[in-house]
């Protein structure tokens, strides 16, 4: 892995005061060559103050403070926009609650030596899930089954939120143009990456449910993902049939000429 490459991990936070210092410490010790950007949506519990206040993090830990809670997708778009502006060459994304093991960051970045996108995957050999309730396991497995059936990305963990991208891949995916608010954002990027012919590899990770703070998962977030997946597929099929019709018209007119 080239030590001169500029690497960043983006961590969105909403009410993660109980976790943020532990996750920052773990990232700094697992991957000291990686900078961190915390994107906080004005958490009432003072998460941002804990990041701001600690000079020990120095120039490697940055904070993007936003004015209010706008969802995971919006926080990541702001973080990725910052990363591209600052000319980071590789950018990872990770939850703040230690569900995504910081110790796997080096493996995710190393995978970018050969791939455009590295997905931290629970559903390949060597990966797994720990301490998750049955209901969350069913939602996660069911979500992946659904995405597989409707979109067919070929990625075993298409809903994963622990990923690393080459900067060129973020641009190719057109990540800033996404409009997903919640976790649909994760599916959208995986889907766009595979459809745009990028090299996507899955790196096994063990996801462990949070032990502090509370999940922000909600029914409306799940509904958004369910609906958007259908809309994306419908648009794909519509575009394919429109293009199919116009190319067969072209073919007919050129054979008539
Ligand atoms: N900035 C920001 N972060 C969010 C928002 N919603 C969730 N997050 C963060 O996104 C990550 C994943 O959320 P979490 O509640 O752990 O989801 P779960 O693991 O699916 O239960 C955590 O780091 C949250 O703090 C939001 O609206 N804004
Ligand atoms: Mg979580």
| Percent of the chain clearing pLDDT 90 (strictly above) | 84
Query: What pLDDT does 251 receive?
Result: 54
The total of structural domains in the chain comes to 1
Give this prediction's pTM.
0.93
89 pLDDT tier (thresholds 50, 70, 90): very high
Give the distance (Å) from ligand 1 centre to CA of residue 254: 54
| Percent of the chain clearing pLDDT 70 (strictly above) | 95
- Decide if 257 is inside a domain: no
- Decide if 253 is inside a domain: no
C-beta of 73 in contact with ligand 1 (< 6 A)? no
Give the distance (Å) from ligand 2 centre to CA of residue 25: 18
Residue 245 reports pLDDT greater than 80: no
**What is the residue-averaged pLDDT of the chain?**
93
Residue 181 structural domain: 7-243
Asked which of 27-41, 185-199, 201-215, 243-257 is least confident by mean pLDDT, the reply is 243-257
Residue 257 reports pLDDT greater than 80: no
- Decide if 42 is inside a domain: yes
Q: pLDDT per residue over 140-191, tens digit each?
A: 999 999 999 999 999 999 999 999 999 999 999 999 999 899 889 999 999 9
Give the distance (Å) from ligand 1 centre to CA of residue 15: 9
Query: Measured from the CA of 75, which atom of ligand 1 is nearest?
Result: 1
Which of the listed residues 44, 70, 95, 159 should we mutate to test ligand 1's pocket, taking the one with most ligand atoms within 8 A of CB?
95
C-beta of 64 in contact with ligand 1 (< 6 A)? no
- Decide if 157 is inside a domain: yes
- Decide if 249 is inside a domain: no
- Decide if 238 is inside a domain: yes
Q: What is the CATH number of the domain that holds 28?
A: 3.90.550.10
Please state the rounded mean pLDDT for residues 181-205: 96
- Decide if 215 is inside a domain: yes
Smallest CA separation from ligand 1 atom 14, residue? 215
Query: What pLDDT does 255 receive?
Result: 45
In this structure, are residues 99 and 208 in contact, taking their beta carbons and an 8 Å threshold? Answer: yes
Please state the rounded mean pLDDT for residues 9-31: 97
- Decide if 95 is inside a domain: yes
């Amino acid at each position: 892995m080239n030590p001169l490459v500029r690497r960043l991990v983006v961590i969105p936070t909403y009410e993660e005061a109980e976790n943020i210092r532990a996750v920052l410490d773990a990232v700094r010790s697992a991957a000291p060559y990686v900078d961190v950007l915390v994107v906080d949506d004005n958490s009432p519990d003072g998460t941002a103050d804990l990041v701001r206040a600690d000079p020990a993090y120095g120039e490697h830990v940055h904070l993007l403070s936003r004015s209010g809670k706008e969802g995971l997708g919006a926080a990541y778009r702001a973080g990725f926009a910052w990363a591209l502006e600052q000319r980071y060459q590789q950018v990872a994304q990770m939850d703040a609650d230690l569900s995504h093991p910081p110790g796997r960051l080096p493996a995710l970045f190393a995978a970018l030596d050969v791939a455009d996108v590295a997905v931290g995957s629970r559903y390949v050999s060597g990966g797994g899930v720990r301490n998750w309730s049955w209901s969350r396991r069913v939602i996660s497995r069911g979500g992946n089954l659904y995405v597989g059936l409707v979109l067919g990305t070929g990625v075993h963990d298409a809903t994963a939120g622990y990923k690393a991208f080459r900067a060129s891949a973020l641009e190719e995916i057109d990540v800033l143009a996404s409009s997903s608010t919640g976790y649909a954002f994760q599916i959208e990027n995986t889907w766009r990456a595979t459809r745009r012919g990028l090299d996507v590899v899955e790196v096994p990770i063990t996801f462990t449910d949070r032990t502090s703070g509370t999940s922000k998962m909600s029914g409306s977030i799940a509904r958004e993902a369910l609906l958007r997946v259908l809309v994306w597929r419908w648009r794909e099929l519509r575009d394919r049939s429109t293009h199919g019709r116009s190319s067969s018209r072209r073919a007919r007119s050129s054979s008539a000429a």
